[in-house]
Chain A
């Protein structure tokens, strides 16, 4: 599904990713863990197509298509979805207006007809109910005045409506209390399917109790330094990232 080969990325002359290799298969939930500054968020932005980064080498293939040659909107239409660590507030843009514009833009890119309003509302209501999103939240401007938990739920709502094939969750657990973490995780788990892959970026093992990964990768110094099964997350939780820092020093 997703193949990253020897990815080298810098921003303002500072190298962030240093020959990163990663493969995520269809239906797989891959977790990426790593200390602050290891390049986790950069990786998510580069996959989604943020412009600030300079890709010096390597490639990112999604089902064989080279994502690096596409604009962010084309990547979204190809199936990439990034749930932001800090979802942005957009005053003046209603949540429903935004959802409809996004869904129709992707349908258009795939050559499908626009959604009718009743069909759109039906889909939103169904997905919102599952994520325990109250209707009045959808009447407000996108993310404006939302709590941290509400913003994250809104991200998962978008994911549920857009039905992407490759989902990146960038520290989705940050700023969530226990109940919100449960709701968000259930929302993500409901979307797990044999045709969809996830890349779950997190600092803490906590999230992975709720969204149980198939594989765990440790990122450090801009590359994947170790890969394993879900038990690797527990080991990291117990020992911290000190081992990797020392290995770098040595």
Chain B
């Protein structure tokens, strides 16, 4: 086989340089960073001949690497958070990050809700905190180049421990301050102890016009009999290239729901790597993606059923306007010992105009013989008969289209249990539709 990685792109060269500059300044174990970067650098940015990145060619999409953001001043952080609107209607414990750095002044550590512990990652890395051993709960995520870049550059984040039933949602609020383009790499670890429950909101916001490059990883370890509700919103600015990973290891008899709603970014890729490690667990991973112009958004999902009697449901809805591109790659893995697995994965795309495109790649990898697994993928336009029905009742065409798009995405969003968060997502959809008409 011919060696095709001889020439480094300017972006790859810039990443090598950036790592050289940053490595001595970044907190924590320099060796593990260096190891991750070497793994990344050996292959470089993934391109279309790498199967996992066939539809999202990062070598072509990432032309210029933005400088990694420094720690904002208190005033900068305050100003940036003041302009943040995501989930503003939800009463939640705010855990804010500005330019990838945890804003610890914004958290009242003395009065955290009962059952919540928060450790700033920067300090934890520097001091070698014992929880660091819990990072990377899904081993095979470490083979992913986006994840490797995050491990190489992660500058800050938090580690959260949840014990017992926590009523107040925890809101991880990521905001990039106005100004020139920056790159960020944050890492969040959430450990949900046995029998605990938590709602975790995650929002990502930045202004339009700057080529921000966030690369965020959220890792979760959910114990036995846990209930985790995770709601993620990408509301990045119109030029952002946003990469993100959710890596979750889930125990027995647990209930784990995660949704990613994409309403921003020029380019985005959200990777979900979940491993079901205990019996009788229910996993739901949903997506609701709204794309217009020339936006590109990739939802990549790998779910490994590593125990008996688990059920997983994946429902990804993508609305594509203009010449935007959607990607769904989903894989359910069922090893031979995971009998009685019940997995269903569905991706549905709605193309509002002729120029858009959707790439669907559902996969099942099944080695057990007593399982129920199914996958489906559809691409279509709005139903003309339904449009006529609505118009015959007096709704103008755009309004009729909006109602049908809301219904389409609503099927995915309706699984969000927190009512305020669900309303915020519905309002996000409405806002997107209003901007369209």
Q: Are the C-beta atoms of A93 and B404 separated by less than 8 Å?
A: yes
Q: Are the C-beta atoms of B397 and A71 separated by less than 8 Å?
A: yes
Q: Are the C-beta atoms of B411 and A92 separated by less than 8 Å?
A: yes
Type the 1/0 row for B396-408, where 1 means its CB is closer than 8 Å to any CB of A: 1101100110111
Give the segment of A54-62, A102-110, A112-120, A219-227 that binds chain B.
A102-110
Give the segment of B121-129, B231-239, B386-394 that binds chain A.
B386-394
B413 to chain A, nearest CB (A): 10
CA separation between A219 and B306, bound complex, in Å? 67
CA separation between A50 and B384, bound complex, in Å? 9
Residues of A contacting B31 with CB < 8 Å? none
Minimum CB distance partner of A107 in chain B: B394
A215 to chain B, nearest CB (A): 24
- Give the size range of A's interface with the partner: 20 to 34
Minimum CB distance partner of A89 in chain B: B386
Residues of A contacting B403 with CB < 8 Å? 93, 97-98, 101
A187 within 8 A of B: no
Known: A71-B397, A93-B404, A101-B399. A88 touches B392 (CB 8 A): no
Q: Are the C-beta atoms of B392 and A76 separated by less than 8 Å?
A: yes
Q: Are the C-beta atoms of A49 and B389 separated by less than 8 Å?
A: no
Q: Are the C-beta atoms of B392 and A90 separated by less than 8 Å?
A: no
Q: Are the C-beta atoms of B389 and A73 separated by less than 8 Å?
A: no
B378 to chain A, nearest CB (A): 14
Known: A72-B388, A76-B391. A90 touches B399 (CB 8 A): no
Q: Are the C-beta atoms of B388 and A76 separated by less than 8 Å?
A: no
Residues of A contacting B411 with CB < 8 Å? 91-92
Q: Are the C-beta atoms of B384 and A102 separated by less than 8 Å?
A: no
Listed in ascending order, the chain A residues whose CB lies under 8 Å from chain B are 48-52, 71-73, 75-77, 80-82, 84, 87-88, 90-93, 97-98, 101-103, 105-106, 109, 141, 158, 162
Q: List 18 contacting pairs A-B, 8 Å CB cutoff, sorted by A.
A: A48-B388, A49-B391, A49-B392, A50-B388, A72-B391, A72-B392, A73-B392, A73-B396, A76-B391, A80-B392, A81-B392, A84-B389, A92-B408, A92-B411, A93-B403, A101-B395, A105-B399, A162-B394
CB-CB nearest 3 A-B residue pairs: A92-B407, A76-B394, A72-B391
